[in-house]
Structures are given as C-alpha cells and as structure tokens.
Amino acid sequence: MIAELKQSKPFQSLQEEAYLNVLRTADALGRHLDQLLKRRGLTATQYNVLRILRGAGAGGATCRDIGERLINAEPDVTRLLDRMERLEVIARRRNDQDRRFVTVRITDRGLKLLAELDRPIQELHKQQFACLSEEELTQLIAGLEKTREGLT
C-alpha cells in the first residue's frame, strides 16, 4: 500500500495501515456500485433506502427507522426521501391519529427497479471479491464485525 499511496515512509502502525486500507477499499468498491446505480438514476444511499423498505414489507418504515438502518449516516433523511418521492420509488403517508408520524413505503416502481438491480449488483459483488476464497471472505467479515463491535 505504501507504493499505492506514493508514500516514502512506512506507516506509524499496523492499525494506521489497516485503517487506510479499509478506507481505500471501501472507496474502490463504492465507486463501482455508484457507476452501476447512476445508470438507473440512483445514488448508493437511495438504493440503501429502497432495500430497507423492501425488507420492511407492506408495513413500511418510519423516517427514524430508515435513518437508523442506513449504511452511511445521512444528516437529512427528509430531503433524501423528498428526492425519492419525486422519482416515485417511495410513498409517504401521515398517520391519521398523529400527523407527526410518517410511514414510508416502497412503490411498485421502486420494487421493479430493485428487481432489475438485484442480479447486476450480485454479479458486481462476485467480481469484486473473486480474488478471495470463502474462508478468506468469512475471516474478513468476522474481522470487520469485530472491529465495529469494539467501536460501540
């Protein structure tokens, strides 16, 4: 990685090298996903919302639920949902008893879009991790989960 960064000095620690490797890898993986999603008019965060809502089923989810489940923190979930509503991939409905309570559901258009993306994204992930064996992937997942657990 030192050569990749055109760095002349060694890292100060293995932790620093690991941190930078995680960031650079996440960025590289994300760029490929972004390119695929851009062709469908979506961002990675919008795609994440659609997956959350598809998983929530017919009951939908609240803005707060969506915000808590997003992979990348989004400071303004309401604006994000506004843009998605204009794309007609989600619909919001206020609760009749408590107008502050808004339920968000995925529309048929959103479900169709996700269905069209399922296979290409699955293929993308297979390509991205083709150089790792199942055992290496399992170890990678375990190591990353253990790291996140240590941060909470």
Q: Is residue 12, in this structure, part of any structural domain at all?
A: no
The whole-number pLDDT of residue 126 equals 97
The whole-number pLDDT of residue 5 equals 57
The whole-number pLDDT of residue 73 equals 85
Q: Is residue 22, in this structure, part of any structural domain at all?
A: no
Tell me which of 58 and 152 has the higher pLDDT.
Answer: 58
List the CATH number of the domain containing 80. Answer: 1.10.10.10
pLDDT tens digits, one per residue of 100-139: 788 999 999 999 999 999 999 999 999 999 999 999 999 9
pLDDT exceeds 60 at position 64? yes
Contacts of residue 22, defined as CB under 8 A and 6 or more positions apart, other chains included, come to: 144
Mean pLDDT of the chain: 91
Tell me which of 11 and 135 has the higher pLDDT.
Answer: 135
Q: Is residue 74, in this structure, part of any structural domain at all?
A: yes
Quote the domain boundaries for residue 106: 39-122
SS3 105: strand
pLDDT exceeds 70 at position 1? no
Q: Is residue 16, in this structure, part of any structural domain at all?
A: no
Q: Is residue 28, in this structure, part of any structural domain at all?
A: no
Q: Is residue 52, in this structure, part of any structural domain at all?
A: yes
In 3D space, the residue among 28, 22, 24 whose CA is nearest the CA of residue 147 turns out to be 22
Residue reference for tokens 């851009």: 38
Number of domains in the chain: 1
Tell me which of 75 and 81 has the higher pLDDT.
Answer: 81
Q: Is residue 65, in this structure, part of any structural domain at all?
A: yes
SS3 133: coil
Q: Is residue 90, in this structure, part of any structural domain at all?
A: yes
